[in-house]
Amino acid sequence: MSVNEKRYIKPEFKVVSRWPLTLTCIYCEHEVLPKYVASAEWHEGTLESKRYHSADSHWARKIRVENLIVFDAESEARSRGFKPGKYMRD
Ligand SMILES: [Zn+2]
């Protein structure tokens, strides 16, 4: 796993709420509510294990902050090689 792969959350953001998942900019404090989440831990597995999930699913709380990857759009997740999680269509 490269360092870059783990750094999809820009360091200028911090997690202020897990439910709903909310990040804030450390400079201007504007809020960001990502739509999709993934765990960087899964990068150590196979490509098939790279899954993204809706930010309002339980995954938003389950993934540890240091492993949390966020996406604003599914296309962004897909372009990083992530596939929809098992329950994405629920
Ligand atoms: Zn800002």
Query: What whole-number distance in Å separates Cα of residue 89 and Cα of residue 72?
Result: 17
pLDDT one-digit tens code per residue, 50-59: 889 999 998 8
Average pLDDT, rounded, for the chain: 80
- Does the pTM exceed 0.85? no
Q: Count the neighbouring beta carbons within 10 Å of the beta carbon of residue 56.
A: 14
**What φ, ψ does residue 14 adopt, rounded to 5°?**
-135, 155
Query: What whole-number distance in Å separates Cα of residue 24 and Cα of residue 3?
Result: 22
Q: How far is the CA of 27 from the centre of ligand 1 (A)?
A: 5
Kindly give, in sequence order, each residue whose CB lies less than 8 Å from that of residue 83, ignoring residues fewer than 6 positions away: 48, 50, 51, 52
Q: How far is the CA of 9 from the centre of ligand 1 (A)?
A: 13
How far separated are the first and last CA of the chain, in Å rounded? 31
pLDDT, residue 55, reads: 93
Q: How far is the CA of 26 from the centre of ligand 1 (A)?
A: 7
Query: What whole-number distance in Å separates Cα of residue 24 and Cα of residue 60?
Result: 16
pLDDT one-digit tens code per residue, 28-78: 889 989 999 988 875 555 555 688 999 999 888 888 888 888 998 999 999
Q: How far is the CA of 37 from the centre of ligand 1 (A)?
A: 20
